[in-house]
Amino acid sequence: MRFDHETLPQRIRFASGAAAAHLAAEVEALGGRRVMVTAGPAARSAAREITDGLPVVHRHDRDGDVVRHVPRAVAERARAAAAEHDVDVVVAVGGGSTTGLAKAVALASGIPVVAVPTTYAGSEATAVWGMTEDGRKTTGTDPRVLPRAVVYDATLTLSMPVGLSVASGLNALAHCVDSLWAPRTDPISQALAVEGVRALGAGLPSVVREPEGLGGRERALCGAYLSASAFASAGSGLHHKTCHVLGGMFDLPHAQTHAVVLPHVLAFNAPHAPEAERALAAAFDAPTATAGLALLYDELDAPRTLRELGMPADGIAAAAEAIVAAAPPDNPRAVTLQAITGLLRAAWEGAQP
């Protein structure tokens, strides 16, 4: 056995109902005196509540300030606001788009970020950044964008509707699955990924059954962190390369796109990655990984089609070419234009993988 595994330097504070206190402690530890808060519309109220006692000099939370896939023009406005207000800490309260915007500020300035997730996106636990311009999403890795601390509080996810909770949780599950065969996968990231599958597989059905219960949301939130930790070390596999192309090219909703594509990439790769397949099957407590995922999708009433997300049928050919060009060279199965075209058409139609 021989591998290299990088554990990212980051503190995690996990406790329901303690976001304000934990956030204040982290800002103080960073010496923050001029705080910028980023928050999208869904998290604006919660952000104002938990940051009320902080030395906030700018709230970047107006309509249009946070946009999915972080368009470059939106990122530049946030960077200019941080410079204008001489910000020394950015607090990001919200989902992946909010964290992504804070990362864009950090990438250009080195200003430290404290993330307070309200979804299961997982961006908060990685040093990966992404921005879109002219229909193309560019991603990269830089230690400056890794949030110095993450404050997890499951009560902040209670306002997330069940449908969005499901999609966001399946996005996290996709981090787990991709981490089992991504370019830098290793036994540690694989172990984190498998535990993430178990946590999400138990937590998400509980969220659907009892949306106001904290137990399921805590398990899902913990699973989201495990999944992101695995992904941070393992890197982007075929699934994430596919979704980055689709999101950037067609401006599709991030979490729902991951949820729709995941069963198709799993069915594509699993027969060619037997060890990963067995580990996933065991985590799902199912005879096969694909069967386990299918049962979970039925239980969650998960999103099924790219067509319903707004992807045009005539975009399949161009997307397939871009995905083949971006696919990792060591994917378990050869990534051909014909195969990816078929995969995308099945995902567009909502056909069985």
Summarize pLDDT for 319-335 with one digit per residue, the tens.
999 999 999 999 999 99
Please list the residues that pair with 133 across neighbouring strands: 136
pLDDT tens digits, one per residue of 165-210: 999 999 999 999 999 999 999 999 999 999 999 999 999 999 999 9
Q: Out of 2.60.15.10, 3.10.20.90, 3.40.50.1970, 3.40.605.10, select the CATH number for domain 11-157.
A: 3.40.50.1970
Q: Round to whole Å and give the CA distance between 249 and 299.
A: 31
Number of H helices, E strands in the chain: 13, 8
- pLDDT for 164 equals 95
Q: Kindly report the number of other CB atoms within 10 A of residue 334's CB atom.
A: 9
Long-range own/partner contacts, residues 9-12 (CB < 8 A, 24 or more apart)? 9/146, 10/125, 10/146, 10/147, 10/148, 10/149, 10/150, 11/148, 11/149, 11/150, 12/149, 12/150, 12/152, 12/225
Instruction: State how far the alpha carbon of 205 is from the alpha carbons of 86, 163, 296, 300, in Å.
Output: 44, 12, 8, 6
Q: Where in the chain is the domain with CATH 3.40.50.1970?
A: 11-157
Edge-to-edge strand ranges of the sheet holding 89-94:
11-14, 149-152, 113-117, 89-94, 35-39, 56-60
Position 44 pLDDT exceeds 90: yes
Q: In the beta sheet, which residues pair with residue 141?
A: 128
Interval 129-143 mean pLDDT: 92
Distances (CA, A) of 326 to 159, 178, 248, 263, 322: 36, 15, 13, 20, 6
Q: What is the pLDDT of residues 221-253, one digit of tens each?
A: 999 999 999 999 999 999 999 999 999 999 999
Q: State pTM to two decimals.
A: 0.92
Instruction: Say which residues have a Cβ less than 8 Å from residue 346's Cβ, sequence separation at least 6.
Output: 264, 352, 353
Q: What is the pLDDT of residue 1?
A: 87
pLDDT of residue 40: 92
Mean pLDDT, rounded, of the chain: 96
Residues of the chain with CATH 1.20.1090.10: 162-349
pLDDT at residue 22 above 90?
yes
Residue 61 near residue 37 (C-beta atoms within 8 A) = yes
**Dihedral sign for Cα atoms in the order 309, 314, 315, 321:** positive
CATH top-level class of 162-349: mainly alpha
Mean pLDDT, rounded, for 278-304: 97
pLDDT value at residue 247: 93
Measuring CA to CA, how many Å separate 65 from each of 74, 126, 198, 270, 324?
7, 22, 36, 40, 33
CA proximity to 145, closest of 115, 183, 182: 115
**Do you know the residue count of the chain?**
353
Let me know if 307 is exposed, middle or buried by CB neighbors in 10 A (0-12, 13-18, 19+): middle
Looking at residue 165, its pLDDT comes to: 97
Under the banding of pLDDT at 50, 70 and 90, the label for residue 135 is confident
pLDDT in tens, 50-96: 999 999 999 999 999 999 999 999 999 999 999 999 999 999 999 99
DSSP letter, residue 71: B
